[in-house]
Every structure is written in C-alpha cells, then in structure tokens.
Amino acid sequence: MNAISYTLDLLKQIADGLARQFGIDCEIVIHDLTKPELEHCIVHINNGHVTNRQEGGGPSKVVLQTIHKDAAQLKDRLGYLTRTPEGKILKSSTFYIRSQDGTAIDYLFSINYDISGLMTIDRSIKAFIDTEPQPLTGQKPEQIVNNVNDLLDNLLEQSVALVGKPAALMNKDEKVTAIRFLNDAGAFLITKSGDKISRYFGISKFTLYNYIDVNSRKADGGT
C-alpha cells in the first residue's frame, strides 16, 4: 500500500469514528485534491444529508482556495460558521492534510456540525434571561454548495457584494476589483468559468483576461 492510499484509508477510519461518536448531525467530508477531476473530488462522506452532498460530488469554496494558494501558508481553520442553501447553520472545521514532503495539500478533512437546533435553544434561553435582545453572532456564515455551478454563482454574488453595485452598473475599475476577488477565490479553476464570468460582467473573454493581467501586475507591485 502506498503512502497516499494509507493516508486516505486512515482518514476514512477517523471520519467513520467521529461520525459514530457525534451522531447524525455531524457530517464528515474528505476531498481528494490529488484527483485530476476536481468536479468529483469528494471521496468519502458521512451523514451527507446535512448538506445534501454525496461521494463523487464537487469542490467547496475552501477547496478552490486551497488549490489556488501556497500550501506552506495554509493553516487549519477551526470552528467557523457555514450555512447550507436550505438555511442550516453549521459549525465547521477544515484540516489540511499535506503530502509527505509537505509541499502540497493532498486532502481536505472537513467537519460540519448542524447547530441549527442548538442555536434555536440558545436564542430562546437568551430571550428569557437577557434584558435586551442580543445578536446571535457577529460571524457571517459561509454558504456550502452542492456543485461547481452553484459555487461559481455564489462567488459571483460575493464579488458583486464586495463592489456594492450590480455588474451592469460597474465601471472598469470596479469590474477589475470584482474579477480580482474571483481570481483570488479560485473561480477560474472551475471548468469553463471564463465564459460565464465574461457574460456576467458583459465583457469579452479577451477583456476578461486583460483584467486578470491587470490584477497580476498589481499583485507584483506594478501598475
């Protein structure tokens, strides 16, 4: 058994144990970043009903970000909030499983615990004991999507929210800013994303790639 197979088998063993320990509200997902087919990178999942995903499913936002970034700069993310399209609120943690030499991320090991019911109880208790209504949390949950098309749509919505106006009303600099966000988020790793993004912003693919070049020059300290 090679090292990669051993690591994956070990991760599956841990996933099964955690899912059994914490019950049906605890989803465990393993993304295989060594697979050439990014659209089918989920290789193991427990309690997939939490986010309505299954084995063979596509990447999440964090997968694209992982591939797009330097592995040496990545640190495990613990206890952040996410949400499903159905409105479930999840407490999530993501662990970066590195290759033997540490230069790449081979797997993402993610835990998503549905805390929607617990938050309802928490809100009821606070309403009873607090003298004034208190905000539930200052964190804005990240959305978990079920396929790459939904993921790209979600990233486009975030780029518009970043600029603060619809794509049709953006000037050139604002479109460059939005496209920089998409590039940094790994949106262009999605197959045929360039076609959809250029249509969304009402520009040609030639212009789109010029905007990406502008962002690259800025990142390198140029003008």
Whether residue 134 is contained in a domain is answered as no
In a domain, 199, yes or no: yes
Is the overall model pTM greater than 0.85, yes or no? Answer: no
pLDDT at 8 over 50: yes
pLDDT digits (tens, 9 = 90+) for 176-217: 999 999 999 888 888 889 999 999 999 998 999 888 887 665
Residue-averaged pLDDT of the chain: 86
Q: Is residue 132 part of a domain?
A: no
Please report, for the domain that includes residue 115, its CATH number.
3.30.450.20
Same domain, residue pair 26 and 110: yes
Exposure pattern of 118-139 as b/e (b: 16+ CB <10 Å)? ebeeeeeeeeeeeeeeeeeeee
59 shares a domain with 115: yes
Question: Domain check: are 162 and 199 in the same one?
Answer: yes
| pLDDT confidence of residue 64 | 87
In a domain, 133, yes or no: no
Residues 16 and 78 in one domain: yes
Asked if the structure places residue 130 within a domain, the reply is no
Whether residue 100 is found in the same domain as residue 9:
yes
Do 102 and 153 lie in one domain? The reply is no
Same domain, yes or no, for 55 and 7?
A: yes
Assigned domain for 139 exists: no
Torsion-angle region of residue 218: left (phi > 0), alpha (psi -120 to 50) or beta?
alpha
Identify which of 114, 113, 136, 115 has the alpha carbon closest to the alpha carbon of residue 124: 136
Give me the domain span that covers residue 88: 3-119
Q: Tell me, yes or no, whether 7 and 63 share the same domain.
A: yes
Domains in the chain: how many in total? 2
pLDDT > 80? residue 142: no
Dihedral over Cα of 92, 90, 161, 151: its sign? positive
Residue 53 resides in a domain? yes
pLDDT at site 223: 43
Residue 149's pLDDT is 83
Confidence of residue 1 (pLDDT cuts 50, 70, 90): low
pLDDT digits (tens, 9 = 90+) for 16-36: 999 999 999 999 999 999 887
Residues 13 and 89 in one domain: yes
Say if 126 falls within a structural domain. no
23, 114: one domain? yes
12 and 109 within one domain: yes
- Residue that is last in its domain, among 119, 138, 169: 119
